[in-house]
Each structure stands twice: as structure tokens, then as C-alpha cells.
């Protein structure tokens, strides 16, 4: 026992001597904060509602005077259980992508409107933030030319709810801004004090007419320049009362029912008396500014059926007949002082010219023409004129017109002989029936012979 006591004492002494420890207790630190949310009871609906906490202090618009005294007895009436009535729903201005609507409720209500392309109203919803008697909203970001369904849900302060039946409106159709193609084969034949004009109208289904304007200086650049000489949907016109030996410039603008004008087909002629027409000196060629000098055929874009066409070979564009061809030059590629860009097609020794006109967005010079009907190669010339009608640049190229491959399937060989095959099958069938009947008859006769 003594020994054990000494052993234990020694161990404790050694532990104290040999081991210096620094115990660590879990320590902590705390902090407290307040999270404060302010709540205001004013709905600015023009009605003082002390029961909702509105007072002249917190809601001066609704409660302009001193807060009303509580009702005698403080009893309070029965709880409102009648939902609000929605009436006078009016769909106001409808645009391509928005619609305004207004409605009323017979008591103050907080309304939500849900809309969509179906009666599931998946496209969106909006909610008022206050209670009103008269309500209005505008739905924006809608698709054009689309039927929209919507419904209105209104809730009064007592949480009674009512909603409209399904309502519909139709957003506007985008305006037609695409001009018709230019007239084709516009030709001028001069005579004595007169010029005969002939052309073919474009195939656009909304084509309405052709306006031809005339000038003695240069081709009119718009339907409102020069002297109007023709405005109808015919295909020829005789311009009379002209001065001989004076060159007349005509521009014909085809237009559609929406009032869009084509870029203009141009022609010029000089009336004369006698057998020999006067010689017309070509417009002078002057050295162009550097921006014009560097323009090439590659700078022009050619589109057909909405697809861009690329140069098949150097200076050669391949496109289909019967489909309008749009020629475009980026507006920024030429200086603004530039007056006219004209494209000329040569067909069987005749020249047909068209203006490239700036589009309303001022992004490009454009012309849409109907390609020649006959398959073949047509020399193309693009002339750039300055404001003095001097030729600054002449670019040449070639248009190759080809016929679109029709998707007609070859007729199978048996379709060709279908009638004969039917006849043959019927004959075979008849022969088989005749053979069968003959066999039956023979069998019958044989049986009778045996019986006898």
C-alpha cells in the first residue's frame, strides 16, 4: 500500500514538473442588432379609411382633415362579402406591339390582368399596387398580328374577388413598306414633237399604277420631281407637244396600294422632225473622288427570294428568271453629294435603265427589277453620276439568267401504260373465268356420261 501511494505521488509530481499545459476553453462573443421594417398604411385612393390605419398624419391625400371620429357605439357594420363589379371595360389604342385598356369597379379594388396567346394567359400578368375605382393599364412587348386573350381579376379591401370572362384583342399588322418592282422594258420612241413610251407592269399583286415624271435636265429622282405626265396602270403613253431636238428624261415609278414607290425605271429620248435623228452627246466623264473610284461590282449586293447572291465568276451574277432581283449598295460606301446611281441592262441591243434610290432608313441605295424572261447573259453597266449629271464611275458586269429547275418527278414507266395494264388484267381475269366455267361444264358432262 505504501509502495502504491509513493508511486502515485511520483506520477503526479512528474506530471506537474514535466508537462506544462495551457488548456483552452471554448470562448465566444456575441452581438445583437435590430432588423427594422417600416410599414405605412396609406393607399392614396382618395378615401379616408381610418379602419386601415389611415390618418391625416400618415395619409394627407386621403384624409385631408382631422381624423374622423369613430362611429357612435363603436359597433362596426357587417363584413363586406360582395365582390367588386367590373364594368366599362374598354380596349383603347392597339398598336403593333401594345394595347391600352381601362375599366371601372363599383368599389375600390386592386386588380390584376393576365394575358397570353391562349386562355392559359401564359405571356404575363401585371398588378396594381393600390385600390382604385377607375383602372387602366398598357400591355407592351406584344407580337404584331396576334390574337391575345386576357382576363382581369379584381379584389376589394375585404378580399372579395371577381374576374372577367375571357377577353380578346388583335394586335395590328405591320405596314407594307416593300415597294413593287420597277416596270420592265421601258422604252421611248421619239417622233415629231412627241415621244411614245411603252413598258410592262411589274407582277406584284398589290401593284396599283405607274407614275411617270419628265424633266429636260436629268432623270427625276423621285415621283415628286419633274413634270408628271402619266399616272395610271396602262402600259403605254404618247407624250405630245414636245420641242424637237430637246432631250427629255423620264422616270417611271411603279407604286402599290400602300403607296410605296419603286426606285424608278428611266429612259430618255429627243423628238425630231424628219428621217435622221439628232446625235446625242454622251454625258461627260470626270475624274471621281477617291470614295467613288474604289467602288467595285463586289460592293453591290444582289438579292433574290430573300437570299444574297454571290459573284459566280468575276463580274458575273447568276440569278433566276421570274423572281424579282434587288440590287443594293450600302449607303456609307458613297458620299452624300452623290446624286444618282443608275443600273443599265442590255437586252438584244436595247438598254433598260433603273435608278438606285435611298431607302427611307437611309441605309442603302436600292432597286428592285424583274429579270429578263429569256435565259442568257446580259451585259450590266452601273453608272454613278454627280449632282451635275457628270459620269463619275462606270462599272461593268454581266447577269446570267437561268430558268429555275422545276421539281417535277419523272413519270414511272407503268403510269404511262396504266390503261393497257388494266385492260390486260381484265382480259386475263375473263379468260380464267371462261376456263373455269369450261372445266366445270366438261366435268358435268363426264359425270352424266358415267351415270348413263
Interface positions with another protein (CB under 8 A) = 3, 6-7, 10-11, 14, 17-43, 52-53, 58, 110, 127, 129-131, 157, 159
Beta carbons within 8 Å of 94's beta carbon, 6+ residues apart: 100, 169, 170, 171, 172
Nearer to another protein, 50 or 191 (CB): 50
Report which of 113, 147, 154 is spatially closest to residue 133, judged by C-alpha positions.
154
- In DSSP terms, 253 is beta-bridged to 211
Closest approach, Cβ 153 to another protein, in A, equals: 12
32 vs 419, which CB is nearer to another protein? 32
- In the complex, least distance from residue 130 CB atom to another protein, rounded to whole angstroms: 6
- CA-nearest of 173, 152, 172 to 162 is 152
Taking the complex as a whole, the smallest distance from the CB of residue 86 to another protein amounts, in Å, to 18
In this complex, which beta carbon is closest to another protein, that of residue 37 or of residue 78?
37
Distance in Å, CB of 100 to another protein, minimum: 23
Q: How far apart are CA 244 and CA 111, in angstroms?
A: 78
**340-347 and 376-385 strand pairing:** antiparallel
Q: Which residues contact 316 (CB under 8 A, 6 or more apart)?
A: 397, 398, 399, 400
Give 134 or 377: the residue with its C-beta nearer to another protein.
Answer: 134
Least CB distance from residue 41 to another protein, whole Å? 4
SS3 312: strand
Please, what sign has the CA dihedral across residues 241, 243, 247, 249?
A: negative
Q: CA 221 to CA 253: how far, in whole Å?
A: 10
- Which residue, among 166, 84, 91, 99, has the nearest Cα to 131 in the 3D structure? 84
Closer by beta carbon to another protein, 5 or else 413: 5
The least distance separating another protein from the CB of residue 113, rounded to whole angstroms, comes to: 14
Residue nearer to another protein on the CB measure, 127 or 189: 127
CB of 231 closer than 8 Å to CB of 209: yes
Nearer to another protein, 74 or 306 (CB): 74
Q: Which is nearer to another protein, 132 or 250 (CB)?
A: 132
If the CB atoms of residues 123 and 386 are measured against another protein, the closer one turns out to be 123
Check if the beta carbon of residue 249 is closer than 8 Å to that of residue 219.
yes
The answer to whether residues 155 and 80 touch, using CB atoms and an 8 Å cutoff, is no
Nearer to another protein, 42 or 334 (CB): 42
Q: Which H or E run contains 292?
A: helix 290-293
Dig out the grid coordinates for 292 from the structure: 467613288
The smaller minimum CB distance to another protein, of residues 112 and 391, is found at: 112
In the complex, minimum distance from the CB of residue 112 to another protein, in angstroms, rounded to a whole number? 10
| 3-state secondary structure at position 265 | strand
Minimal distance, residue 110 CB to another protein, in Å:
6
Task: Tell me the closest approach of the beta carbon of residue 120 to another protein, in angstroms.
Answer: 20
- Evaluate whether 252 touches 232 at the Cβ level (below 8 Å): no
Nearest Cα residue to 376 out of 296, 294, 321: 321
Nearest to 207 by CA among 268, 252, 266, 239: 252
Smallest gap, in angstroms, from Cβ of residue 265 to another protein? Answer: 58
Q: How far is the CB of 4 from another protein (least distance, A)?
A: 11
**CA 43/CA 51 separation, integer angstroms:** 12
Query: Is 292 in contact with 270 (CB distance < 8 Å)?
Result: no
Amino acid at each position: 500500500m505504501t509502495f502504491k501511494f509513493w508511486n502515485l505521488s511520483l506520477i503526479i509530481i512528474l506530471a506537474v514538473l514535466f508537462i506544462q499545459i495551457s488548456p483552452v476553453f471554448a470562448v465566444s462573443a456575441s452581438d445583437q442588432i435590430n432588423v427594422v421594417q417600416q410599414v405605412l398604411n396609406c393607399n392614396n385612393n382618395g378615401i379616408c379609411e381610418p379602419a386601415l390605419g389611415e390618418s391625416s398624419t400618415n395619409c394627407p391625400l386621403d384624409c385631408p382633415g382631422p381624423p374622423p371620429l369613430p362611429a357612435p357605439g363603436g359597433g362596426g357594420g357587417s363584413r363586406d362579402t360582395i365582390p367588386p363589379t367590373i364594368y366599362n371595360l374598354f380596349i383603347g389604342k392597339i398598336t403593333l406591339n401594345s394595347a391600352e385598356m381601362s375599366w371601372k369597379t363599383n368599389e375600390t379594388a386592386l386588380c390584376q390582368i393576365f394575358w397570353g396567346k391562349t386562355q392559359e394567359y401564359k405571356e404575363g400578368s401585371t398588378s396594381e399596387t393600390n385600390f382604385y375605382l377607375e383602372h387602366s393599364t398598357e400591355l407592351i412587348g406584344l407580337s404584331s398580328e396576334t390574337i391575345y386573350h386576357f382576363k382581369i381579376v379584381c379584389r376589394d379591401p375585404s378580399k372579395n374577388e371577381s374576374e372577367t370572362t375571357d377577353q380578346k384583342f388583335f394586335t395590328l399588322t405591320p405596314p407594307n413598306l416593300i415597294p413593287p418592282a420597277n416596270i420592265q422594258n421601258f422604252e421611248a420612241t421619239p417622233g415629231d414633237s412627241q415621244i411614245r413610251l411603252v413598258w410592262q407592269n411589274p407582277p406584284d399583286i398589290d401593284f396599283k399604277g405607274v407614275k411617270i415624271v419628265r424633266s429636260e435636265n436629268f432623270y427625276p429622282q423621285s415621283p415628286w420631281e419633274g413634270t408628271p405626265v402619266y399616272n395610271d396602270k396602262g402600259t403605254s403613253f404618247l407624250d405630245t407637244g414636245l420641242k424637237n431636238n430637246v432631250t427629255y428624261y423620264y422616270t417611271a415609278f411603279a407604286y402599290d396600294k400602300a403607296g410605296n414607290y419603286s426606285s424608278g425605271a428611266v429612259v430618255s429620248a429627243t423628238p425630231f422632225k424628219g428621217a435622221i435623228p439628232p446625235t446625242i452627246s454622251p454625258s461627260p466623264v470626270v475624274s471621281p473622288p477617291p470614295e467613288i473610284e474604289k467602288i467595285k461590282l463586289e460592293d453591290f449586293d444582289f438579292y433574290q427570294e430573300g437570299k444574297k447572291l454571290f459573284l459566280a465568276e468575276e463580274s458575273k451574277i447568276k440569278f433566276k428568271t421570274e423572281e424579282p432581283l434587288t440590287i443594293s449598295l450600302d449607303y456609307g460606301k458613297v458620299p452624300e453629294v452623290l446624286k444618282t446611281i443608275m443600273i443599265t441592262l442590255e437586252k438584244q441591243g436595247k438598254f433598260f435603265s433603273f435608278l438606285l434610290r435611298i431607302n427611307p432608313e437611309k441605309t442603302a441605295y436600292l432597286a428592285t427589277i424583274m429579270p429578263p424572261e429569256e435565259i442568257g447573259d446580259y451585259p450590266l453597266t452601273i453608272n454613278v453620276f454627280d449632282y451635275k449629271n457628270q459620269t463619275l464611275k462606270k462599272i461593268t458586269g454581266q447577269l446570267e439568267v437561268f430558268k429555275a429547275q422545276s421539281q417535277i418527278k419523272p413519270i414511272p414507266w407503268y403510269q404511262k401504260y396504266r390503261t393497257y395494264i388494266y385492260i390486260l388484267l381484265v382480259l386475263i381475269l375473263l379468260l380464267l373465268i371462261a376456263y373455269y366455267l369450261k372445266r366445270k361444264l366438261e366435268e358435268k358432262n363426264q359425270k352424266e356420261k358415267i351415270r348413263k
